[in-house]
Structure 1
Amino acid sequence: MNLGYLLPIFVTVFLAELGDKTQLATVLFASDKNHSPLFVFIAAAAALVASTAIAVILGAAAGKYLDNIPLKLIAGIGFIAIGAWTVFDHFKA
């Protein structure tokens, strides 16, 4: 087990989660006076752990079969395409 990967994984996931729709939903739940902030935190944390567990399990299983496919390149191209589409859509309107 290489702990040197821990920090880059944490930073990458942390930055990816900032400002996404999940965090905005959590803010909305926490702002509701009918919801305890502690219970909102526990529920949101449990949901993130569960979804991350599913991603890790699927990623580990897929990694056995997708070793020869350049997944980082494909993901990078996908993000660039989504970004270009978003910029194009902004100027189109």
Structure 2
Amino acid sequence: MKIYSAPLSLVASTFKSPSENFDVAIAPDKPKDARPQTATNKSSSTGAVFSSTFITIFLAELGDKTQLSTLLMSAESQAPGVVFLGAATALITTSLLGVILGRWIASRLAPKTVEIAAGVSLLFISGMLLLDIIAA
């Protein structure tokens, strides 16, 4: 079921602008207070960013192959706590790499360029997943 919903999920996330939930990075030559104060800027609190990120990642990872692998390792192991720590550490590490890479890209490209590139990439991946489903 998750495999069939993946292309739809990717397409839906393609058309949702990141600036709808988060402050968009400002160009390096503009001071932070040069940003116009809008309702979006004021409402983008740490809690809102945290909860949005948590819900998005939680739903995306629910039932995926990583979770199934963790489930199998825990079932075969006599130490489920160690399996949890290993899986949690791996997820934290990959998330940290994503944050670092995302920050690096955001410092070098305009937000609109990143948004368009992400949209094109997600549409391409969605198309490939859809072709796999049709071919199966």
Q: Please give the TM-score of this superposition, normalised by the length of structure 2.
A: 0.57
The alignment status of 1:30 with 2:94, answered yes or no, reads no
Q: Looking at CA atoms only, which structure, 1 or 2, has the larger radius of gyration? A: 2
Q: Which has the higher helix share?
A: 1
CA-CA distance at 1:68 after TM superposition: 4.6
Count of matched residue pairs: 92
SS of equivalent residue, structure 1 residue 19:
coil
Runs of 4+ aligned residues of structure 1 deviating over 6 Å after TM superposition are none
Quote the RMSD (CA, aligned, Å). Answer: 2.1
Partner of 1:8: 52
Q: Which runs of 5+ in 2 are unaligned?
A: 1-43
Q: Deviations over 1:63-86 (max 9, x none)?
A: 100225432333233223322332
Moved more, 38-47 or 53-62: 53-62
Instruction: Check 1:58–1:89 CA distance in 2 against 1; reply closer, same or farther (3 A cut).
Output: closer
Partner of 2:39: none
CA distance in 2, matches of 1:58, 1:68: 14
Instruction: Check 1:87–1:61 CA distance in 2 against 1; reply closer, same or farther (3 A cut).
Output: closer
Instruction: Check 1:52–1:90 CA distance in 2 against 1; reply closer, same or farther (3 A cut).
Output: closer
The alignment status of 1:18 with 2:45, answered yes or no, reads no
Partner of 2:128: 85
Moved more, 61-70 or 4-13: 61-70
Which of the numbers 103, 107, 132 marks the counterpart of 1:60?
Answer: 103
